Chains A and B, each alone.
Chain A
Amino acid sequence: MEKVVTGEKRVFMTGNEVVCRAALAAGAEIMYGYPITPQNEIMHYWTRLAPRFGRRFLQTEDELSAGFATLGGVLAGRKAFTATAGPGNVLMQEPLAMAEMMRLPVVSIVVQRGGPSTATVIYSQQEVTLTTFGGNGEGLRFVYSTASHQELYDYTIKAFNLAWRYRFPVFVLADGYQGKMREPLTIYDPESRGIHMEETDAYLGRHGIPGLDRPPGHFRNTYNTEEELYAVMQGHIAAFEQAAEEVSEYETEPADGGLLITGHGIVARAVQQAAVQLRSAGFPVGYFRPITLRPLPVGALRDTAARHRQILVVESAYGQLGRLLRDAIYGCPAEVHALCKPGMGVTAEEIAVRAKQLCAARED
């Protein structure tokens, strides 16, 4: 396969273009998609660049088909991916739940827009619940929440490896701000950084005669009895739990006995900025940012939460991250507060104002 990037290069581009370049660098062979803002440019750039490197694209009639076609590509052994947003992400839950059931390494890039329904084409963090636990099933999927163009590049590459290593669907959860904004990043060839790209192999159409040279390929999303399903799910859950230890990622800087501010994705940038400013002004404020929303870094989160008296969860949604975190730290004595702005960006300044109020109330 022809190298997409040689060496390393500092570049300036939009987040959607970054995703496209990262998928190319990761060796993605085909994208299936259906247009929806704010992810359209992933498709635009893919259709423009993919043919130069012998990669392919199929636009389907809707997101249901795009999702299922991605599963088909993967069953044929192709490194396949899709990208969507909002209502498109809703439609894709059925195929992605099938990927969960059949352990198919599907990669989906979600560029969150406002919700519910078509709402805005711009920005939100309102697809957290949907992306972590959407579909009928148990949420056996990995979800990275990126905060910068560099991370969009790094984690899109990682998503393909994670999917093919563990055989669970993997989501990169971005948002319209990240998709559309521009900032510098370094693009690179993964192999040149010692990142080994996982080999793909076909589920269907393998060499040899089924039953003679190899077992028949029998991949199921339907079972006849509860016991059969239960046994299969026990295996899937065990595999997921085991992988969770290795997969979960976070960033933190605690402030013992003080206030812990948490946020994910692009909001984590404001959280981090606010925490750093407040600390330099003498406030006991730390931060915790889960990079994987599924699985959450539960151990680290519980340990960190236990060292603080208060927690402030900041998000561009009405408590979607909050619910995940509260569940993970259940039993922790810290008071949990929320700063929720569904569908709106959050600035470091407004986080700082709220954090100061919480610090002051605590002193009273």
Chain B
Amino acid sequence: MRRYVEAYVGEGTSGKSEVAVNRALELTTRGRRVTMVDLDIVKPCYTLRPIQGSLLAMGVAEVVTWASRDQVGMGETPVLWNPAASWVLQRSGDIVFDVGYGVEGAKALALVEGSEVEADLRVIMVINTTNPLTATVSDIVEVVSSFPAVHALVHNTHLGDETTAEIIQDGARIVGEAASVLHMPVVATTAVAELAAAIGEVDCAGHQVRAIRRLMTDTFW
């Protein structure tokens, strides 16, 4: 059986954590053993940690992160790294990494033992075209090229509660074009269930549409 090892990277507000968490749950629902790994050393305390309990309750096999109370140090400068994350590729089953934002955030992957030679590892960049940093084809090409080794894109254009199918379709065109310039696949367009249903199985650029639930609303930011 193929094992999925996926790391979600991207700019702030792209929806990395949301996409990663939903992917972990999707794989879990298929009966697979999934380990979620918190690699966010940019904003370490506030993303996956508040929902680790509910992820476990929903069937994710393990969430590798610290509970904030277990950390040594203050505020955003604690001892960040949970040593279990260093050796997580030695585990069996699927691995989904939630990585901190930006190029610097993505560098945390290098701290995972064996990540440089892991054949199954796919680094997937999440793109939201309503963030001005990734609003146009040339912006996206520039940003993706500045990241270390990205294998594929996920198109996750949204405006929070104001998202419409039209906004997503506009984004799909832009991300589709950028992906062809980059010679990279777009593995999915993600949208909340209601909008995913409105768009259909594929969006206007031919990307497969993946329905997601908004779980990060229960986290800090």
Task: Give residues in A with beta carbon < 8 Å to B.
Answer: 9-14, 17, 21, 37, 41, 118, 120-122, 177, 180-184, 187
Which of B76, B132, B158, B160 has most chain A Cβ within 10 Å?
A: B132
Find chain A residues with CB under 8 A from B161 CB: 184
Instruction: Say whether, besides A14-B13, A182-B13, A184-B160, A9 and B75 are in contact (CB < 8 Å).
Output: no
Q: Which residues of the partner chain B approach A10 to less than 8 Å between Cβ atoms?
A: 130, 159, 162
Q: Is the CB–CB distance between B131 and A12 below 8 Å?
A: yes
**Apart from A13-B132, A180-B43, what are 11 other A-B pairs with CB-CB below 8 Å?**
A9-B132, A10-B162, A11-B130, A11-B132, A12-B128, A13-B13, A41-B12, A181-B221, A182-B13, A184-B159, A184-B160
In the complex, the number of residue pairs spanning A and B with C-beta atoms less than 8 Å apart equals 52
The secondary-structure label for the interface of chain B is loop
Nearest CB in chain A to that of B161: its residue = A184
Complex Cα gap A187–B116 (Å)? 40
CA distance A182 to B18 in the complex (A): 13
Interface size on B, residues (CB 8 A): 19
Task: Report whether B76 and A121 are in contact in the complex, using a CB–CB cutoff of 8 Å.
Answer: yes
Chain A residues within an 8 Å CB radius of B74: 118
Chain A nearest CB, measured from B76 CB (Å): 5
CB neighbours (8 Å) of A120 from chain B are 75
Is B221 a contact partner of A182 (Cβ separation < 8 A)? Answer: yes
B178 to chain A, nearest CB (A): 18
Q: Are B76 and A37 in contact (CB under 8 A)?
A: yes
Across the interface, which residues of B come within 8 angstroms of A122, CB to CB? 75
Q: How far is the CA of A13 from the CA of B134 in the complex (A)?
A: 11
Q: Report the bound CA distance from A17 to B46 in whole Å.
A: 18
* Residue interface bits B30-62, CB-to-A below 8 A is 1, else 0: 000000000000010010000000000000000
CB-CB < 8 A to A177: which residues of B?
A: 221
Within 8 A of A (CB), among B63-112: 74-76
Across-interface contacts of B220 in A (CB, < 8 A): 180
**Which chain A residue lies CB-closest to B162?**
A184
User: Could you give, for residues 208-221 of chain B, a 1 whenever the CB lies within 8 Å of some chain A CB and a 0 otherwise?
Assistant: 00000000000011
Query: Would B13 and A12 count as touching, CB distance under 8 A?
Result: yes
Residue ID in chain B nearest A187 by CB atoms: B132
A12 touches B75 (CB 8 A): no
Closest to B12 in A: A14
Partner of B160, one of A9, A12, A17, A37: A12
> Given the complex, which residues of A lie within 8 Å of B130, measured CB to CB?
10-12, 184
Q: How far does the alpha carbon of A202 sit from the alpha carbon of B57 in the complex, in Å?
A: 63
